[in-house]
Amino acid sequence: MGTGDEVVEIESLERSLLSESITGEEGTEAEDESVLYTASFQEMEENFVKYQTAQWVLFSLLLILAWGIGLFMLLYIPVRRYILRKDIRSRKLYLTPNSIVYKVTRPVPFPCFGVLKKEKHVLLPSVADVVIEQGYLQSLFGVYSLRIENVGVRRPPNDDVQIQGIANPSAFRKLSPPRSKLDAIPHSGDLALLQKLEEVGSSVKRVQSLIEEQHGQTSETAD
């Protein structure tokens, strides 16, 4: 059937396409502020591509049974794998003193029509939590998802930043908010203490004004 030769051809096609466009795409990382920690994706490239390919094949088989569209999806797998490799190799996720920055450049579904660039800056005070997730299929390939939740009930959950394929997500979570956020925002106890100090200051001023008034009245009586 030539299955082995087809696999080799697919792998060689991916390498040739990637080698033509990867060179010179090492984007700058936070030129205007220092980087505290940089996440890595390279170690998870193969696992990520295999996981996404398996997911794509499952959807394709279901669509074959339904409408037959899945057959075209199976033929699209080499292009899909190329896009996935370009995607994960371009990902940059790092933590700065003020924000979490995520950048990615991926080809459109038909790579000949260009690429899509995405850059997301999440300010640390707006981060509610950093959640590590892993579904059943992800666990089979050792792939994790990182979800950065936003503060505030008015923001929908789909506005959260979700990133797959990060290596060692626990290390990134330990260095990320909400700890940094709590350090930047005054605690409720501090606010209460400031309020009490203001009340004491106002009381002292009232007592001082009363003493001055009584002293003035005593001086007039003596005259």
d(CA 125, CA 127): 6
Phi and psi of 67, rounded to 5°? -125, -5
DSSP state of 127: E
Model pLDDT, residue 95:
93
Distance of alpha carbon 11 from alpha carbon 6, whole angstroms: 9
For 69, residues 6+ apart whose C-beta sits below 8 A from its C-beta are 63
- At 78 the pLDDT is 95
Asked whether the beta carbons of 106 and 83 are under 8 A apart, the reply is yes
Pair of tokens at residue 6: 């087809």
- The pTM score is 0.66
Identify the pLDDT of residue 176: 80
Residue whose pair of structure tokens reads 């003596």 in the numeric block: 222
Phi, psi (degrees; rounded to nearest 5) at 200: -65, -40
The better pLDDT of the pair 185, 140 is held by 140
Q: Does the pLDDT of residue 9 top 60, yes or no?
A: no
Q: Residues of the chain with pLDDT > 90: what percent?
A: 43
Q: How far apart are CA 125 and CA 148, in angstroms?
A: 12
Structure tokens at 130: 């950093």
